[in-house]
Structure 1
Amino acid sequence: MVKGEVCSEGLGPCDDTCNSKCTSKYPNGKGSCDSISNSCKCFYQCLQPKPEICNVGIGTCSTACNDQCCNGNCAAKFPGAYEGHGVCYNVGPSIYNYCVCIFKC
């Protein structure tokens, strides 16, 4: 289930070399600039058996879905050995709060 899942890693400030930095680190990766934080994000496929910590956003957090709700949703999506857990990640005004799952892949 997790093999092939999209993982992401921050590669510092965004510039014209964002995509090439990503593909040099992860041949199957694609670099993208996050306009909110002005950071370079590298998105790549999780390839087993190399154990890695991956993360993926699964939607917004709100008063209806707070950290406890987010954590439960992530544990259900990535159970057992994947050790899925989640947090509401605030990247700006409250409309930009995302539930981010962190799991082993």
Structure 2
Amino acid sequence: MSAPEPAKKPNAAPPVTRPVFLARATYRQRRMRDAAALLPILGALLFALPLLWLGQNGGEARTSHVMIYVFAVWAGLVMLSAVITRILGIGAAPQSASDDAGAADTRRG
């Protein structure tokens, strides 16, 4: 004896399927947003790294080397955030003719 077959619903809608892959531009924009979100964590880790350095003979690291490293990390983070911002287009307000006309009207008074 075999078990009876389960009854199938005649009007059952097929399951909704989403595309497996995203559009290339959307995918890249999401990854850039992820990179922007992880940038402060990367910066904190890089700034904390000199705490682990040992100098000559097991002593402390030289302050001049640490300061050069901190400045280089800071400059690198600034440049990296500028690149990510430019790629994402954050801060760039779209200009249109109506915006320019509105700005001219507010200046007149």
Query: What's the TM-score once normalised by structure 2's chain length?
Result: 0.22
Q: Looking at CA atoms only, which structure, 1 or 2, has the larger radius of gyration?
A: 2
Query: What's the TM-score once normalised by structure 1's chain length?
Result: 0.23
When you count helix as a share of all residues, which structure comes out higher? Answer: 2
When you count strand as a share of all residues, which structure comes out higher? Answer: 1
